[in-house]
Amino acid sequence: MMKVNDFQKYEVTLSISYEDYFRLIYDTKYLIEARLGPDRTFIARKSVYGNSRKKAVQKAVQWFWKDFKGVLGPAHKVMTVNDPFDEVNYHDGFACNDLANKYLEEGTIVRVLEEAKGDLARDESEGSENHPPNSLKRIRRRRKEDVEIAPRLFQTSGGSIYYKVSAVPAGKSGRAKTKSVKLSSKSLEKALREVSRRGLDKGLHVAKSSKRISPLSKQAA
């Protein structure tokens, strides 16, 4: 029974080799309507419904393994799910391993690669039954930018929080430089208290000198 919110229609396409199609009939007695396409390949289609492409892909994978019982091999080698509502789009947070971005048909792959402008490529790895490859893979690392959560407070993508302070070189007069001090706090509220407790917000700080003292200088002293 279709749920009320599973109203969007998606099309699953199977490209089945000539030999596998008849083996499917003989081994499982499962007869799926298909037409013979080029290169002696049978093309079969099935409609699935869901409130998103991710849900549709999940249903398609479950149907594939339940009905074909592995006779056709891994799903990623024969099955694709279309993207009629253009839900698959490239953006900074695009995750190739997200189920919503898997089992892409050719037209969708071409479009997303154009949107990615060199950040992505086709994933042509072999994969396995339990660890299927993605449709796309990232070939250029995403630039992870820190997020300013308060004045002078920045949080990295990994969750670490830094406070930017102005420091002047020890024993020198000159232009102050900005440096980032890592905090142990993991939340904004605790970070603000830590900044106050450590006195990081009390104006300029003197940077430690990096100049090394030679043994000869120590003896002279």
* pTM of the complete model: 0.63
Q: Enumerate the β-bridge partners of residue 13.
A: 45, 80
pLDDT at res. 200: 87
59-69 as b/e, with b when 16 or more CB fall inside 10 Å? Answer: bbbeebeeebe
Residue 3 reports pLDDT greater than 70: no
Q: What is the pLDDT of residue 124?
A: 92
Q: Bigger pLDDT: 145 or 196? A: 196
Average pLDDT for residues 194-203, to the nearest whole number?
A: 85
Radius of gyration of the chain (CA): 29
Q: What is the pLDDT of residue 189?
A: 92
* Residue, of 28 and 220, whose pLDDT is higher: 28
Judge whether residue 215 has pLDDT over 60. no
β-partners of residue 166 are: 178
Q: Would you state the pLDDT for residue 167? A: 67
Please write the tens of the pLDDT for every residue from 131-165. Answer: 899 999 999 766 667 788 898 898 987 789 999 88
What is the DSSP annotation of 48-106? EEESSHHHHHHHHHHHHHHHHTTTT--GGGTEEE--TT------TT--TTSGGGSSB-H
Q: Please state, for a pLDDT cut of 70, what percent of the chain lies above it.
A: 82
Percent of the chain beyond pLDDT 90?
A: 52
Whole-angstrom distance, CA of residue 202 vs CA of residue 63: 64
Specify whether the CB–CB gap between 103 and 54 falls below 8 A.
no
Residue 193 has pLDDT above 50, yes or no: yes
Cβ–Cβ < 8 Å for 1, 39: no
Give the burial class of 205: count Cβ atoms within 10 A of its Cβ; 0-12 exposed, 13-18 middle, 19 or more buried. Answer: middle
pLDDT tens digits, residue range 48-76? Answer: 999 999 999 999 999 999 998 888 999 99
CB neighbour list of residue 134: distance below 8 Å, 6 or more residues apart: 96, 97, 101, 102, 123
User: Residue 4: what pLDDT?
Assistant: 53
Residue of 62, 28, 34, 30 lying closest to 46 (CA atoms) = 34
**Domain locations along the chain:** 8-138, 147-207
- Mean residue pLDDT of the chain comes to 84
How far, rounded to the nearest angstrom, does the alpha carbon of residue 35 sit from its chain's CA centroid? 36
Report pLDDT for 130: 74
Q: How far is residue 19's CA from residue 17's CA, in Å, rounded to a whole number? A: 6
With a cut of 50, say whether residue 37 has pLDDT above it: yes
